[in-house]
Amino acid sequence: MSALALIDGNSFYCSCERVFDAKLERRPVIVLSNNDGCAVARTAEAKALGIKMGQPMFQIRDLCRDSKVAVFSSNYALYGDMSRRMNAIYDTFSPDVEIYSIDESFIDVSRLPVKDRTAWASDLRSTTRQWTGIPTCVGIGPTKTLAKLANKAAKKLPGGVLDLSDPAEQTHVMADFPVGDVWGIGRASQLKLAALNIRFAGQLRDMDPKLARQIMTVVGERIIHELNGRPCIALETVAPQRKGCAVTRSFGSRVTTKVEMEQAVADYATRLGEKLRRHGLATDHVTVFMHTSQFNDDEPQRNVSMTVDIPEATNDTLTLIKAARRAVDALWKSGYRYSKAGIITQDLMPPPIPQRALFDNLDHDRASKVMAAMDEANRRWGRATVVPAAVGIAARSAFTTKFEMRSPRFTTRWDELPECR
C-alpha cells in the first residue's frame, strides 16, 4: 500500500522573511510579485485583513500602511536557499523525496519502518522548524492527490499534521472539502462541476470516471482515481529533463521607444543564455513577444510574437541576442505603450559537440570561453557585473524591474549576512 507525505512551508516566502527578523513574528507580512506588482504570499494575519492572493499592491497600499503590514519585494535568492536547506532535512527522513516546488516536497513513507505516521510527521515538522525556522504542515495519503488534500486540511489543525491513510477518515474530511481546493481542479473545471451540482471532494470522488473524462479530459479522470486511493501520478525522485525555458518581465514603467525594447529583450536573452548554460542545454530557436497592458483597454492594444530560427543549437548569449534582435526589428511598431516582453524557447537539447576538423574555425570555442568567463565573473561579483554591450546600462533604463522593498540576501551573499548585536 502506497503512502506519500506532502510537506510544505506555511506562507513560505513570508516565513523566510520572518526567520531573519523576530519582530515580524506578530505582524502581518506579505511578499510581492516581481515588479512589486501584487501580493503573492500572505501570512494568516495578512489574510485576516482581507488581502487576497494576487491582489494588486496599489489597491492595498493604504490598508498596509494603516495596519502596519510588513511588505517585501520577492527575494528568490533567499527563498531558494531556504528551500535547499529544508530538502536536505527531508533527505535524512526518507531516501525517496520529490521536490515538487520551491516550498513543497513529496516524501515516500510506505517503505519506512514507521508505526505511527502522525508521530513521524510531527518529528519531521519540528526538526524542520528547529533547523531552518520555517513552519510547515504535513499531509499523508495513499496518492499524491490525497496527500495534497490532507496537507490542505492539516493547515487548520493545531498539530499541522493529518494522516489520511484510513478510508473512513478520507470520507469524513472530503465531505465538506471544497472541490475547487482539490489539486488539479481550477476555475474552469469548478464551473463545470458546479453545473452538475458537485461541490465537495467527496462528491467528486464518487463521480463516474468516464463522465469526468468527458468534461475535464484525462486529467479529470485521473483525479477521480486518485481520490479513490488508486495512484495515477507517480513519485518522481529524479527531476525530468526540462523542456522549455523562458525569461519574461513586466516593465518598471511603460516602454515606448525601440531602443528601450531592444535593450530589454537583449537583457532577457542574456538571462536566457545564463539559464541554458547553467542547465547544460541549448536551443535552435527563440520566440520573442511584446504586448501592451490588458488592464488599460482604453488604449490601443498590441500583442505580437515571432519565432526566429538559429542555424545550430546554441547557448551563446551573443547569438541569442542577435536572433532576438531580429524578432524585435520585425515586431516593433511605435505608438503603443508596451507593458511587457519576453523571450521563450522550447525543445531544449544538449549543446552540439564542437567539430574539431583540421580547417574548422575556432569561433565556437572562443564563444564558449567568453561565456564561461562572463558567468564566472557574474557568479563571483554579482549578477550583471559583466553584460553584453547590447544590454546597455540596464540599471538606468526605464524597463528595469522594481524591487524597492527587497530584504538582504542573508544566506547567499557574504556582504549581506545578518549581524548579531
Partner DNA sequence: TCTGGGGTCCTAGGACCC
The answer to the question of residue 332 lying near DNA (CB under 7 A) is no
Binding mask 98-137 for DNA (x = CB under 7 A): --xxxxx---------------------------------
Provide the minimum distance between the beta carbon of 185 and DNA in the complex, in angstroms, as a whole number: 5
Secondary structure class of 371 (helix, strand, coil): helix
Residues 209-238 that bind DNA (CB under 7 A): 216-219
Burial of 86 (0-12, 13-18, 19+ CB in 10 A): buried
* Cβ atoms within 10 Å, residue 20: 16
The answer to the question of residue 202 lying near DNA (CB under 7 A) is no
- Residue (52 or 111) nearer to DNA, CB: 52
- Residue (220 or 364) nearer to DNA, CB: 220
The answer to the question of residue 342 lying near DNA (CB under 7 A) is yes
What span, in angstroms and rounded, lies between the C-alpha atoms of 147 and 141?
4
What span, in angstroms and rounded, lies between the C-alpha atoms of 246 and 345?
6
In the block, which residue shows the cell 485521473? 222
Phi, psi of 256 (to 5 degrees): -125, -5
What residues does 7 pair with on adjacent strands?
A: 105, 138
Q: Which of 229, 18, 112, 239 is nearest to 121 (CA)?
A: 112
Residue of the chain from 94, 105, 250, 315 that contacts DNA (CB under 7 A): 250
Residue 68's contacts (CB-CB under 8 Å, 6 or more residues apart) are 27, 28
In the block, which residue shows the cell 544590454? 391
Binding mask 383-412 for DNA (x = CB under 7 A): ------------------x-----------
Provide the minimum distance between the beta carbon of 275 and DNA in the complex, in angstroms, as a whole number: 6
- Residue (198 or 364) nearer to DNA, CB: 198
The answer to the question of residue 199 lying near DNA (CB under 7 A) is no
- Residue (306 or 370) nearer to DNA, CB: 306
Torsion angle, CA of 331/334/335/338, rounded to 10 degrees?
A: 60
Residue of the chain from 51, 64, 109, 247 that contacts DNA (CB under 7 A): 247
Provide the minimum distance between the beta carbon of 228 and DNA in the complex, in angstroms, as a whole number: 18
- Residue (256 or 366) nearer to DNA, CB: 256
Which residue stretch of 29-37, 134-142, 257-265, 368-376 sits at the interface with DNA (rule: CB under 7 A)? 29-37
> Maximum CA pair distance of the chain?
74
Do 318 and 367 touch, CB atoms closer than 8 A? yes
In 266-302, DSSP assigns E strands to: 283-292
The answer to the question of residue 300 lying near DNA (CB under 7 A) is no
Do 325 and 388 touch, CB atoms closer than 8 A? no
Provide the minimum distance between the beta carbon of 402 and DNA in the complex, in angstroms, as a whole number: 9
Residue 182's contacts (CB-CB under 8 Å, 6 or more residues apart) are 145, 149, 201, 204, 223, 227
Residue of the chain from 52, 65, 172, 242 that contacts DNA (CB under 7 A): 242
In the block, which residue shows the cell 564561461? 372
- Residue (266 or 364) nearer to DNA, CB: 266
Residue of the chain from 1, 22, 26, 240 that contacts DNA (CB under 7 A): 240
Provide the minimum distance between the beta carbon of 355 and DNA in the complex, in angstroms, as a whole number: 25
Binding mask 48-87 for DNA (x = CB under 7 A): ------x-xxx-----------------------------
Provide the minimum distance between the beta carbon of 421 and DNA in the complex, in angstroms, as a whole number: 34
Which residue stretch of 198-206, 241-249, 257-265, 363-371 sits at the interface with DNA (rule: CB under 7 A)? 241-249
Long-range contacts of 367-372 (CB under 8 A, 24+ apart): 367/316, 367/318, 367/319, 368/316, 370/318, 371/273, 371/277, 371/315, 371/316, 371/317
* Cβ atoms within 10 Å, residue 74: 22
- Residue (43 or 364) nearer to DNA, CB: 43
> What crossing angle do the helices spanning 187-195 and 209-227 adopt, rounded to 10°?
120
Which residue stretch of 17-25, 31-39, 328-336, 354-362 sits at the interface with DNA (rule: CB under 7 A)? 31-39
Binding site for DNA (CB under 7 A): 33-35, 37-38, 40, 54, 56-58, 100-104, 148, 182-190, 216-219, 240, 242-250, 253-254, 271, 275, 293, 295-296, 339-340, 342, 401
